[in-house]
Amino acid sequence: MFIHGSVLPHMLEQKALGLTPDQAGDLGSYATFGMLVGALTAGTVADRIGRKKLMVACVALFSPASRLCAMAGSVGVFGLGRTLAGIDLGGLLPTAISMVSDYARAAAALSPSAC
């Protein structure tokens, strides 16, 4: 997911998966688009199923999506894996941030030095 930019020149040089420069540019944006979708839907889904369940689901689905990228035999499968991983990561980050914020507030309220 995150090392795409560093391995992309090598993939283009080796013509891995028959990758063209145009396809490489598209692949770079698939994960970002997935993160947009995941971040926009995370709040609604978290309200319905709960933050903890959403966080666990995103982590559990991120791993197979990353594995799909690693095992991809074509540009289409690689793009699908990056999109799915992006959706999961996009859902995970805001959910984790809001959970940490809630726990930090609760801990501060219990602290004897809280003002």
pLDDT for 2 beyond 90: no
pLDDT for 113 beyond 70: no
Give the model's pLDDT for residue 11.
87
0.75 exceeded by pTM? yes
Q: Which residue has the tokens 């095992």?
A: 71
Give the model's pLDDT for residue 114.
53
pLDDT for 1 beyond 80: no
77-102 residues labelled b (16+ CB within 10 A) or e (exposed)? ebbbbbbbbbbbbbbbbbbbeeeeee
Q: What is the pLDDT of residues 44-99, one digit of tens each?
A: 999 999 999 999 999 999 999 999 998 999 999 999 999 999 999 999 999 999 99
